[in-house]
Amino acid sequence: MSKQIIFLLTVLVFVFMFFFFNQGASPKNKAEIADAIQKGALLVDVRTEWEFAEGSVPGAINIPLDKITSNLDKFKNQTQIIVFCRSGNRSGQAKAILKKNGFTNVINGGTWTEVAELVNNKKR
């Protein structure tokens, strides 16, 4: 096969994987997230500082993914933790890092806009 066809097939596979694995929070997960928000979960935006400055969830703190391990003390004594980002990928990684460090009360909230919508619905 030519290099162009291999390249196109590779791109198609990545596009398919992105859309297949990045569907946002399921209705069940949204209910879990909404319940945790109602109970005062710690909201953690794991995007970069400049992404956070562009907009985030009301009441959220910013701990970028690459700084999670150096900020583990901020997660201690939290009953529930919701991590989120732009697409749900980095928050999935953050959840795995926290789980590896003994935190079992972590929810991957997916995108920050989905979590913001649930926080704003709580205020109504």
- List the catalytic residues: 85
Q: Give the residue among 19, 8, 74, 18 at the shortest CA–CA distance from 45.
A: 74
Answer positive or negative: Cα dihedral of 86, 93, 116, 33. Answer: positive
The answer to whether the beta carbons of residues 107 and 41 sit under 8 Å apart is yes
**C-alpha dist (Å) from residue 64 to 33, 72, 85, 89, 103:** 20, 12, 9, 13, 17
